[in-house]
Amino acid sequence: MRSVLRLYTLLWRLLLPLAFVRLWWRGRAEPLYRQHWAQRLGWYRGESPLFARGDGPRIWVHAVSLGETRAAAPLIAALREQVPGMRLLLTHMTATGREAGRALLLPGDEQVWLPYDLPGPMRRFLARHRPDCAVLMETEVWPNLAAQCLRAGVPLLLANARLSERSARRWQRWPSLARVAWGGLQAAAQTTDDARRILALGAANALVLGNLKFDMHPDPALLRRGQAWKAAAGRPVLLLASTRESGGRSEEALLLDALPAALAQRVLLVWVPRHPQRFDMVAQLLQARGLSVQRRSASQPTPQTAVWLGDSVGEMAAYYAMADAAFIGGSLLALGGQNLIEACACGCPVVLGPSQFNFAAAAQAALDAGAAVQAADAAQVWAALSDWIDNADASQQAAQQALAFASAHQGAARRQAEWIAAALAPDASAQ
């Protein structure tokens, strides 16, 4: 087991220069990546503010990116109720996650980059912050992180845990490394299938406590913003949300190849790529296909707008609120899908592509509830979206079913906050 961990660590050290090159590259579009590089190696200035406010437990929540940070919001709110006086250490790996996480902080909390998964940086990180428990969001399990938490006596919890069949098979190729990463943690799984796969990798415990994303309530101000955008557009709106690329292929190209010209003439297409660094690339692709593109950052939509590019972060609820129906990306290519719950919570019926292994349970539940339909390819995506545009009664019914589906599965934040409070070290929970 130790030899496998040493090999893993050696590979990390060899690849570390490339990791910093990648940070610099991504920093062209997102400058936050070029800030606080020392934190990526576990070096931090001064004493942690966690030691300057009260005596409550120090709870570390790791939300790697934007989606996990949004899911962490209701959990953190529930934790503040369940564990009065708690101090939050919030970590991320992506710029979008860190930007969104600022809104979750109170005075005396701290937000930093999580170090890369190497023993020295992880030891320095834990020694400086001394958390009373570690709460990782969804899938972010790392061998050296787990080993160093065990060494420091920090309880390791995986909240809102999900593990697809594909990811489980990848871990099973390296059973010794899987035992290091998963053997000491407890998990609050989204579904029974997630719990079963997590336990098979050696986790100490896995309870099924639901999906936090059902507790994410849309911001009313964003809903009003979206409704104002829809009024400005003056015609039906179809949203292409969280579209992605993989292996040199893009979902945008697949959808554009199948786009019926007649449909494009009578609706406003709103395109919101999953990753901000792709905004310019997608704009160029749309223009190369002869479509007139306006950007959210430049202007509001008008009745003459052909395509409105959603080049903003943190406004997905507004985009869903303006849409008559939406396609959820990451699903035409073999990427496993993206979160559909936010769309349903905004009353927006959705079309899903065939690839849903990352959100299989939620996708199937939405399909069963009539909140979503599934398409086999891009042509079927447009056909399903067009059906909702042409049938107002069916569209309204699907919107109501989407809202009912989202509200029926709430409560995970309270359950998981109670679980985390119970797992705190006795001396920490007694503070």
Label each residue of the chain as H, E or C. Answer: CHHHHHHHHHHHHHHHHHHHHHHHHHCCCCHHHHCCHHHHHCCCCCCCHHHCCCCCCEEEEECCCHHHHHHHHHHHHHHHHHCCCCEEEEEECCHHHHHHHHHHCCCCCEEEECCCCCHHHHHHHHHHHCCCEEEEECCCCCHHHHHHHHHHCCCEEEEEECCCHHHHHHHHCCHHHHHHHHCCEEEEECCHHHHHHHHHCCCCEEEECCCHHHHCCCCHHHHHHHHHHHHHHCCCEEEEEEECEECCEEHHHHHHHHCCHHHHHHCEEEEEECCHHHHHHHHHHHHHCCCCEEECCCCCCCCCCCEEECCCCCCHHHHHHHCCEEEECCCCCCCCCCCCHHHHHCCCCEEECCCCCCCHHHHHHHHHHCCEEECCCHHHHHHHHHHHHHCHHHHHHHHHHHHHHHHHCCCHHHHHHHHHHHHCCHHHHCC
List of the chain residues with pLDDT < 50: 429-431
Per residue in 76-89, pLDDT tens? 999 999 999 999 99
Architecture of domain 2-210+411-429: 3-Layer(aba) Sandwich (3.40)
Q: What is the pLDDT of residue 63?
A: 97
Class of domain 220-408: alpha beta
User: Where does CATH 3.40.50.11720 sit in the chain?
Assistant: 2-210+411-429
Residues 388-404: tens digit of each pLDDT: 999 989 999 999 999 99
Distance of CA 377 to the CA centre of its chain: 24
Q: Are strands 372-374 and 307-309 parallel, antiparallel or unpaired?
A: unpaired
Tell me, what's the pLDDT at 429?
47
Which of 94, 43, 45 lies closest to 66, judged by CA? 94
Positions of CATH 3.40.50.2000 in the chain: 220-408
Confidence (pTM): 0.84
Which residues are tagged catalytic?
68
What local confidence, expressed as pLDDT, does residue 54 receive?
62
